[in-house]
Structure 1
């Protein structure tokens, strides 16, 4: 007898080939048959009229902390993600010491937008090594999860406060390499880092990895190449274009490791200038290929909308001359933003910036804490300014100050036009691009990209008809799984792991995004329940049915070399 049979569904197997109507049988967590199954099972699911597909593979999440108190990894599990990779951007919680954790936890809260009160209450760092961290999660997760080793964490462990003051000495690089070696041998999936100008810690200082010399990055990457089934991830810059140093850093890291390096994030926006920026960034892949490396862009498969605030300060601190003010404590920042001289400095710094969040007039008031400001919610700042006879910049700051900086601000979202969607879908077929970059588990008050997979199915497949369901599923499952060498995952095949989703192709979507105070210590986040997602199954066990968790925890801890095959850059 089989453990589970999903009967009569339209099977989209993740390979990109045409769908078929078939049963899918499962036993001991593996697919045992795809076709007409006559025997019975302990549990059967009628999938008539529904799609049966591999679960989504999300290779860019930040669930390192949340996984310790939320085994379901919501909302990703609700939206059909069955495999999630954490430890990105150089920010990880293992290996660790109490001294390092005292810095790393508030840093993580700042750079990845997690409520510090939630981390303080729920995150209990009772491990030291990477092996102990993975052991802590064993049999405690609903999804398959794996983690990279973060550069900033390694630097903090080895250098202490000097990690945010200077480059490392050769002995310090050797010590970091030794910690990385131990972590990779324990199952870490690879190494991650960031050079992004947006990554500053809770005191406004560049995070540890931003102080590293290029040779340090290359040496650590070389160690990655000594371990099977490993990979690299980097945030090279948030500049509109990559300079030659960014090209060279990624190429050298990848070539030294002989592993692919993926970078975050390629966005698609309209206009000739944006087309030039994309061509420049994708050129990093061509440059690396010529030098024995492989560089892959993660492309967000949806239009990115942002909910910012001057209380968090994230992204506003990347505008020229803004970082010092955004690093001030909330009370001091509120006072500074009411000062005319400070405003003039900030206005001048943002003038001419191509960033969407510096477009004051087209920014929309997303939400407000103060009751008196509710009439402004949903309105353009430019329209409010015209009514009040004021400058849009001053209007925005005045409203934010009246709300103690809590005011939610939504810059104009770019990339939802027909041409941008056509380009987004075209890039799906570019071998320099893989769909991803959800950042799930991070920026909880700021983005809704945790639902990017269901959003892509809704917009690109159903509403616009730009890509077939078969190809869309392939790009969301098999391709990211193949990039990371995930063994027997990302597609439906006999003998493969039974990570499956059952959904209504006519109804599937991201659902309505709302703010919910469902985090520890009353912390809130943006989240949503999907539409049309009927079942989510991990290793043959249903974990979600009708947007409700079953309570089962069948997730597997992914370890390099055991659960991953080696993907070489020079293959």
Structure 2
């Protein structure tokens, strides 16, 4: 028989960790039908001589829940070889949402995930869904370039049941039961699992904690029991009352895989991640399926003082978050408020060392300072860096951005975390913090830095870590490996050139809102279910036409 697509002469790495070999891949009707030897002719052919041919990458931690409704190509994840994405992480799904709560959910996403509310309003339009099953149907009807799986979020479910009080108080037994019912309903309809967060950095509209942070540990554990009834994965973002013991308890009582974000290098001081790894190993030794997610790159945010996301977890920023622009400027100028900020972030403060890893990325008022280090500039001026940076921001009427390596900035720490058998690569946050970061490049960063640069992993291991490993942790069937009879999600790349070109700012979101994107290098082709969606750095499908991505209900499809 003739193939629809044939990839010839490539070095095949099948995602399982098995040794590479040179061969061909034959694809028909969206599936791999020949692997190694593919003698028949084909309608389309890709010459992969000298290239790696491997499964498409599986990104288990994205926030494309809203963007997917207007950007069916899900830029820029496919640029970096991603063919399957998981949405709804940290509890921030956009369903279930009652019509009267839509603005509250959008304002929450604007604050905690750095998404412009104008872009969200313009992009989501009249939404077209309320319940989670309706949202899944909308995803399927809308279509996408890549495969999609969705988690139901605790913040959305809590708001649906409790209204605005979801940000203020514990749930009653009846409200908790109603949330569990919503999760069960979502799982029956095809949700991949349930997601929540207790992270102090997750601050919503008006400076309020996101709804899931107001939940008790018992509420989270009780809702998660729906996973034991119907199956599914739990993703959780660690915070007070939600850590190793709670993850082990949920895994033990439900049998569900639990993947938590994030185990980051030296997050609480030099070497602090080692104690976290030890706890993770203890839980794994008990046979419990709990998997810390690790990031392959520094957690680096680009921030405007108009929306100071990096610092909003500090108590002194609570009134700042509740203020309008003029109110924020008044706080920034106030010596008493600055003294409180400096106690934490000034010279000698617990996080004062970050200024040495902070640069000015945008300052139209004084562009010659762009690219300069804040700590060095403050030292030259004889000022505390908090005073120096706020003085400059106020002089510019807050038209200023800084870029800061917040944590996970030591590549040796990252290397250590990546090598631990309990961990899984995640936390790309693709689709979130759109104007603040772009870690959708995680896959090409990993291949560029830790495979080719540091030579910490061979390609077989690295591809397994980007494909089969995350797919198995999240219960995504038939993705993450190349094998006859399986869906043809394929990446063809040049091992000597694969990487990225850093970040650049564009203004292509609805309502002209801005975001950061990253261009890939060395990715020759990306194939989803047998259709070429990217070729030589350009889209190969019509964004307005039929697209090959599938909705993976319960991880299948």
Q: After TM superposition, is the score higher than 0.5?
A: yes
Which residue among 125, 128, 139 is the counterpart of 1:126? 128
Alignment deviations for residues 234-260 of structure 1 (CA, whole Å, 9 cap, x no partner): 0112xxxxx786232222222222111
Q: Structure 1: how far apart are the matches of 2:300 and 2:241?
A: 30
- Residue 293 of structure 2 aligns to a residue whose secondary structure is strand
Aligned to 1:538: 528
| Superposition pairs of residues 241-252 of structure 1, within 5 angstroms | 246-252=243-249
| Distance apart, 1:215 and its partner CA | 1.2
Q: Structure 2: how far apart are the matches of 1:468 and 1:152?
A: 40
Aligned to 1:240: none
The 8 Å contact of residues 502 and 536 in structure 1, kept in 2 or not, is answered as yes
More divergent stretch after superposition (96-105 vs 67-76): 96-105
The question of 1:152 aligning with 2:155 is answered: yes
Aligned to 1:24: 25
- Residue 146 of structure 1 aligns to a residue whose secondary structure is strand
The question of 1:399 aligning with 2:392 is answered: yes
- Residue 316 of structure 2 aligns to a residue whose secondary structure is coil
The 8 Å contact of residues 198 and 242 in structure 2, kept in 1 or not, is answered as no
Q: Structure 1: how far apart are the matches of 2:285 and 2:451?
A: 35
Aligned residues: 549
Which residue among 199, 202, 217 is the counterpart of 2:202? 199
What value does the CA root-mean-square deviation take over the aligned residues? 2.0
| Distance apart, 1:399 and its partner CA | 1.2
Q: Structure 1: how far apart are the matches of 2:269 and 2:221?
A: 32
Q: Structure 2: how far apart are the matches of 1:328 and 1:11?
A: 56
Which residue among 205, 230, 233 is the counterpart of 1:231? 233
Q: Structure 2: how far apart are the matches of 1:376 and 1:561?
A: 49
The 8 Å contact of residues 500 and 536 in structure 1, kept in 2 or not, is answered as yes
More divergent stretch after superposition (61-70 vs 313-322): 313-322
| Distance apart, 1:431 and its partner CA | 2.6
| Distance apart, 1:291 and its partner CA | 6.6
Q: Structure 1: how far apart are the matches of 2:101 and 2:51?
A: 49
Q: Structure 1: how far apart are the matches of 2:356 and 2:294?
A: 28
| Superposition pairs of residues 335-414 of structure 1, within 5 angstroms | 335-351=330-346, 352-355=348-351, 359-360=354-355, 362-368=357-363, 370=364, 372-412=365-405
| Distance apart, 1:28 and its partner CA | 0.9
Q: Structure 2: how far apart are the matches of 1:225 and 1:366?
A: 47
Distance 1:149-1:500 versus aligned 2 partners, 3 A rule:
same
Which residue among 292, 310, 316 is the counterpart of 2:305? 310
Aligned to 2:548: 554
Aligned to 1:490: 480
Q: Structure 2: how far apart are the matches of 1:247 and 1:503?
A: 38
Which residue among 460, 471, 474 is the counterpart of 1:470? 460
Alignment deviations for residues 246-275 of structure 1 (CA, whole Å, 9 cap, x no partner): 2322222222221111111122259x9432
| Distance apart, 1:105 and its partner CA | 1.2
| Superposition pairs of residues 155-170 of structure 1, within 5 angstroms | 155-170=158-173
Which residue among 500, 513, 517 is the counterpart of 1:527? 517
Q: Structure 1: how far apart are the matches of 2:324 and 2:409?
A: 36
The 8 Å contact of residues 65 and 93 in structure 2, kept in 1 or not, is answered as yes
The 8 Å contact of residues 197 and 318 in structure 1, kept in 2 or not, is answered as yes
| Distance apart, 1:430 and its partner CA | 2.4
- Residue 308 of structure 1 aligns to a residue whose secondary structure is strand
- Residue 300 of structure 2 aligns to a residue whose secondary structure is coil
Q: Structure 1: how far apart are the matches of 2:234 and 2:214?
A: 19
Alignment deviations for residues 496-538 of structure 1 (CA, whole Å, 9 cap, x no partner): 1100011111111022311111111111111111011111100
The 8 Å contact of residues 12 and 19 in structure 1, kept in 2 or not, is answered as yes
Distance 1:473-1:355 versus aligned 2 partners, 3 A rule:
farther
More divergent stretch after superposition (295-304 vs 435-444): 295-304
Q: Structure 2: how far apart are the matches of 1:426 and 1:506?
A: 24
| Superposition pairs of residues 166-315 of structure 1, within 5 angstroms | 166-228=169-231, 230-237=232-239, 246-269=243-266, 273-275=269-271, 277-289=272-284, 293-315=288-310
Alignment deviations for residues 197-222 of structure 1 (CA, whole Å, 9 cap, x no partner): 01111110111111111111111111
| Distance apart, 1:32 and its partner CA | 0.7
- Residue 235 of structure 2 aligns to a residue whose secondary structure is strand
Q: Structure 2: how far apart are the matches of 1:93 and 1:33?
A: 40
- Residue 188 of structure 1 aligns to a residue whose secondary structure is coil
The 8 Å contact of residues 24 and 31 in structure 1, kept in 2 or not, is answered as yes
Aligned to 1:566: none
The 8 Å contact of residues 344 and 351 in structure 2, kept in 1 or not, is answered as no
Q: Structure 1: how far apart are the matches of 2:430 and 2:555?
A: 25
Q: Structure 1: how far apart are the matches of 2:512 and 2:6?
A: 40
The 8 Å contact of residues 217 and 242 in structure 2, kept in 1 or not, is answered as no
The 8 Å contact of residues 320 and 350 in structure 1, kept in 2 or not, is answered as no
- Residue 35 of structure 2 aligns to a residue whose secondary structure is strand
Q: Structure 2: how far apart are the matches of 1:61 and 1:411?
A: 21
The 8 Å contact of residues 152 and 208 in structure 1, kept in 2 or not, is answered as yes
- Residue 482 of structure 2 aligns to a residue whose secondary structure is coil
| Distance apart, 1:19 and its partner CA | 0.9
Which residue among 125, 138, 142 is the counterpart of 2:140? 138
More divergent stretch after superposition (488-497 vs 404-413): 404-413
| Distance apart, 1:177 and its partner CA | 1.2
| Distance apart, 1:405 and its partner CA | 2.2
Q: Structure 2: how far apart are the matches of 1:57 and 1:446?
A: 23
| Superposition pairs of residues 91-106 of structure 1, within 5 angstroms | 91-106=92-107
Distance 1:17-1:424 versus aligned 2 partners, 3 A rule:
farther
Q: Which aligned segments of 4 or more residues in structure 1 are displaced greater than 4 angstroms?
A: 289-292, 412-417
Q: Structure 1: how far apart are the matches of 2:56 and 2:177?
A: 40
Aligned to 2:5: 4
The 8 Å contact of residues 319 and 353 in structure 1, kept in 2 or not, is answered as no
Tell me the TM-score normalised to structure 1 length.
0.92
| Distance apart, 1:424 and its partner CA | 3.1
More divergent stretch after superposition (296-305 vs 432-441): 296-305
Unaligned runs of 5+ residues in structure 2 are none
